[in-house]
Every structure is written in C-alpha cells, then in structure tokens.
Structure 1
Amino acid sequence: MRKTESYPVKGPNSLWQLYKTISFWKVARNFVVVQIGRYTPFLGMKNMLYRSFLKMKIGKETALAVMVVPDLLYPERITIGKNTIIGYNTTILTHEYLTHEYRLGDVTIGDDVMIGANATILPGVTIGDGAVVSAATLVHRDVPAGAMVGGNPMQVIYTAEQRQNKQTT
C-alpha cells in the first residue's frame, strides 16, 4: 500500500471543494512556476525555481527533463535525491482528489535514480536509490533500491541482485 493520509469531505466531490483545502493563491503561484519550469531547458534554473518557490527538496546534479510536471498543489511533499534523472513529460503527484475524500502522500525519489519518459508517480510512493523506472510506467507502489521496474500496472523486471548478476556475466 502507498503511504497516504485520507481526508473525508461532505457534500460535492473533493475536487469541487478544492479551495476549501488549499489556498487559491498558492495554486496560482505554483501553476506559474511549474509552467516556467516545464519549458526551461536550464536545469540549474529549474531546480532553483522548484527549491525556492515550490519548496521541493532536490539533490545536487539532479535533472528534471523538459515537460516534467511536479504536483501543483503540494510540491513541497516531493523529495528527489542527488544525480537523478526524471524523464520527459513525467508527472509526480502528491495528491488524489476522489469523490468522497482526498488523499495526500509524500513522494521520495532516491539518489542515482533514472525515470523514463511519460512515467506517472502516484502519492505516497518511495523509489529507492539506484532504481530504474522504464518509460510510461505507472508507479503505484514503492520501488526497491536498485530494481528495474516497468509497465502499467508496474511490475519488477529485475531486482537489484538480478541486475548486478546480469552486469557481471
């Protein structure tokens, strides 16, 4: 299971009640910063924007490719380690707004991780150090350190030990 906190709502669905749960101005600011970050090709500038304005924790020499979308509502719940690559058009979510509740969960991505293009990372997920996530993967549960995962739903392709054995043979 993913590590999320659940908050029930009464009345209309939780997304309809969005601005009862988060400030409109925070969402507006985050939207502008994310749009600038999505299109900038300057990795250092993008990391600075995300660290300064969105309060994301991003390690040294981490690269978020063009069009990566960090969560607009709760980006401060995203932690990315050092020397990690997040591929083109990947989405990192820390919230889920459902019919009768909304859920929040931290996303932690370790050091030396490689995430392929068009992946979607759901709230409450941890991706371990040295993991590889193939393109177009729906990351709906934790990824062990060193593992290679892929698919929708995500499956472990190789464990860290299997990857190590393949590299030595």
Structure 2
Amino acid sequence: MSRFAYPSPNSVHPLPEFPQVCFIKNTVTNPNIIIGDYTYYDDPVDSENFERNVLYHFPFVGDKLIIGKFCALACGVQFIMNGGNHKMSGFSTYPFEIFGHSWQRVMPEPDAYPYKGDTVIGDDVWIGYGATIMPGIKIGPGAIIAAKSVVTKDVPAYGIVGGNPAQVIRYRFAPEVIERLLALAWWDWDIEKITRNLEHIVNTDLDALQACT
C-alpha cells in the first residue's frame, strides 16, 4: 500500500469546504470540450458550470476546446470559439442570413466564415482572472496568461503573456531548461509518481527532477 494520498481526479469538488474550486473534467458535458485530469476552475458563483464561459461553441461548426492536465483557470476566463466569427469578405459583416425570410438568399457557403481550428491549452497552464482566449489559439505547457489578457495569437511553452492583445512579457525559464522540462513532461507521469516527487516538481532543481525519471 502506498504511503501517499492524493485527491481523486474524479472529484467534482476536491476541497468540500471550498466548493468554488471544481475539477471540471467531471462536470463538462459537451463532447467537444475535452479537459484533462486535475484541471480546475475557480468561481465563487458556480464553479461547476464552466461551459457557460465557452462562447459561440456551436455543434455544427465542429471545433474543439482541449485543455490539458493540471491547469488552473481563474474566475471569468472566457473562450471565444469559431462560431463567433462573421463573414468578412463582403462590404458588411452583419449576418443577415441567420434571420431568415428573404434575407436567407445571401446564405454564404460554410467555408466563407473564418475558421481558426481547435483551441488547445497545454498542461500546467495558469490562466488568470477574466482572460479571454480567441478562436484557434494554441497555448504551450507551463504558460501563464495574466489577468484580463486578450490572447489573439499562440503562446509559447513557459511564456508569460499579458495585455490586449497579449504579448510575451518574458519566459519563465531559459530555453535549455524549457526544452528539458518539455522532454520530462512530468504531467504525464502517473499520479503516484507525481505525488512522490512533488518537492522536485514545485522547486527549480532540474537535475533532481530529471533524476526522478
């Protein structure tokens, strides 16, 4: 028997006395939203209803929101999906066609709408309060998104970004350290191994972390 204890990834509220924290893998029902183990959403109003923050996510568009493991999502984070895009090739961007009647005659082909692909958030990403992620964005592992940022382009692994539009402020570690961390991918270890080596994961002795493999 292991001497280590750890929260179950299948818990809805891993801290029962603090229900504003929710492991949202266990509450999301949309098959096009894929959440990794231990990723949590922190919201004092309704932490279980994370899906309300995924906007314009229409099933006929087919895009996915994929969020990795061990991500921390602060209150008010929003993901704008591809269904929020309007046709931009004509003089007007107004969607006349969706209101029917004679306006339907200008129904464009599906590929006339901008499409940026799936939105993919890597593992161990921290997204701050009220940040907005635009359609098709890819955020690398270990990145930090500052509060109220509007992310309009991809974020590199272990980058810290902020602003509107968000820009890279700095990287958390030197390039060679980032390369080694990505190769280690501690978030893919089994939870027993992660728990056993937490002291190394939360500190900065890379050689010690490497020795855990």
Q: TM-score range by the shorter chain?
A: 0.5 to 0.7
Q: Is the 8 A contact 1:108 1:126 kept in 2?
A: yes
- Deviation of 1:160 after TM superposition, in Å, equals 3.9
Q: CA RMSD in A?
A: 2.6
Pick from 162, 165, 177: which aligns with 1:150?
162
What per-residue deviation string (whole Å, max 9, x for no partner) do you get for residues 71-129 of structure 1? 34258600000000111101112213214453332110000000001100001110000
Instruction: Write out per-residue CA displacement over residues 119-161 of structure 1, whole angstroms, 9 at most, x where no aligned residue.
Output: 0000111000000000000000000000100001111111243
- Equivalent residue runs for 1:36-115 within 5 Å: 41=20, 43-44=22-23, 46-50=24-28, 52-66=29-43, 68=50, 69-71=53-55, 72-74=57-59, 77-95=64-82, 96-100=84-88, 101-104=112-115, 105-115=117-127
Q: Which runs of 5+ in 1 are unaligned?
A: 1-39
Q: What letter corresponds to residue 84 of structure 1 in structure 2?
A: C
Show structure 2 runs of 5+ residues with no match: 1-18, 89-111, 178-203, 206-213
Deviates more, 1:65-74 or 1:114-123: 65-74
2:188 counterpart residue number = none
1:137 equivalent to 2:149? Answer yes
Q: Greater relative contact order (Cα 8 A, min sep 6): structure 1 or 2?
A: 1
Structure 1 residue 42: deviation in Å? 5.8
Say if 1:113 and 1:132, in contact at 8 Å, map to a contact too: yes
- Calculate percent identity across the aligned residue pairs: 31
Per the alignment, in what secondary structure is the counterpart of residue 25 of structure 2?
helix
How far apart are the structure 2 equivalents of 1:162 and 1:127?
A: 18
Q: Is the 8 A contact 1:62 1:84 kept in 2?
A: yes
Q: Give the TM-score normalised by structure 1.
A: 0.64
Is the contact between residue 161 and residue 169 of structure 2 (CA under 8 Å) also seen in structure 1? yes
Higher mean C-alpha deviation, range 106-115 or range 54-63: 54-63
